[in-house]
Amino acid sequence: MTESKIHGLYFDGKSARPIEVVVKCGLTMDLLASDGRTLKKWRWDDLREEDAPPGFCRLSNDREHPLARFETIDSKLIETVRAAAPALQRKRTLEKSGRNKIISLILLAVLSLAGIIVYGIPAIASRITPLVPLAWEKKLGVLIEPQVAKAIKINPIGSYICSTPKGDAAVKKMLVRMKGSADLPFEPDIKVINHNMKNAVALPGGIIFLMKGLIKSADSPDAVAGVLAHELGHVNGRDSIREIAEGSSRSFILSLLLGDVTGSTVVIFASQALLGAAYSRDIERNADNFAIARMNEANVSAKPMADLFSVIDVRSKETEQNIFASHPLTRERIIHLTDSVSTSQNSPVLNTEEWQALRTMCD
């Protein structure tokens, strides 16, 4: 075979830096550096042609680094290589044992990661939550609040907080009735938000959002009080910090795998995890039981709360965010609520004037 010198680019597979080479075609395909040094001697039988655009040739070598490549657009060289390399079109293959080993390792890694995400993170989060200092959780709530507000398009949050003297007094009275004798880790900070979402959200540190949409959907203050008692249950259990630990850890792991994470994203992960939370049945049951205890203590019926859930469930569209987005409603929960709190109890949380003041706070 006659020798010819043709330029191309060589990549060693360890870095993205291309090396300009001179190709010498003889008994082997020699890749020479610009100073004449022989960088590689590639046997024709070892060459494989990789996918490339028309008019472009990309070669790999079975005996080289898996990512090592030689590339050229020289038509004469391409023609020479294709004529000289008998197995050029045969794709690189791994020995069966090696291939099976790699597949097994990949499957093991995937299963391990899935196990960590599904089982490991929740278990760790449950153990970490009681160890988080209350002062830290309080600060985290302050940091997350504007992120949550931004996510539901009520930014800046201050302009969407509803406040009137009589309305604030009604909220305070409802809180006192629903808190009762409970010894909460935080003094709750209830904020009525001018948003049509039929929802209530408990943030870390005792911050609770009561949305206007939820209040307007209620036929009585007792219904709103029941929802508030449930959110106080989440505050009591520090469920938001646990959900944040779980959700943000999953997001953090995925972002690490994708190479897209910075220190400033942790708070964003936390707020997104909180808004996207779908609490487990055990967590919801514990919050329900807390609410039941508070309503029984306050002599308040759970029927208005159950009726409110039913109304929201019927009226809500699939795309509308409501209380069921973060508090999955099941028939079991409705039955448990209505059976555990006597419907004959009748000590309204607010009188007619106070209820009206609460309902019109955002008007």
Burial 265-291 (b: 16+ CB within 10 A, else e): eebbbbbbbbbebebeeebbbbbbebb
Q: Does the structure show a pLDDT above 50 at 319?
A: no
One CATH from 2.30.29.30, 3.50.50.60, 3.40.309.10, 3.40.718.10 for 5-84: 2.30.29.30
**Structural domain spans, the chain:** 5-84, 95-131, 133-359
Euclidean distance between CA atoms 118 and 124, whole angstroms: 11
3-state secondary structure of 29: strand
Which tokens go with 330? 């099941």
- Whether pTM > 0.75 for this model: the answer is no
Q: What is the sign, positive or negative, of the torsion defined by CA atoms of 343, 347, 353, 355?
A: negative
DSSP β-ladder status, 189-193 and 207-211: parallel
62-102 pLDDT, tens per residue? 888 888 999 999 888 888 888 888 777 665 554 445 556 66
Q: Tokens 């050029």 correspond to what residue?
A: 88
pLDDT band at residue 162 under the 50/70/90 scheme: very high
264-277 pLDDT, tens per residue? 444 554 555 555 45
| Side chain identity at residue 307, one-letter code | D
pLDDT at 322: 45
Beta bridge partners of 11: 69
Q: What is the sign, positive or negative, of the torsion defined by CA atoms of 76, 78, 81, 82?
A: negative
As a whole number, the mean pLDDT across the chain is 78
- Per-residue pLDDT averaged across 175-186, rounded? 92
Pair 225, 303: CB distance under 8 Å: no
21-51 pLDDT, tens per residue? 999 988 999 999 888 899 999 999 889 888 8
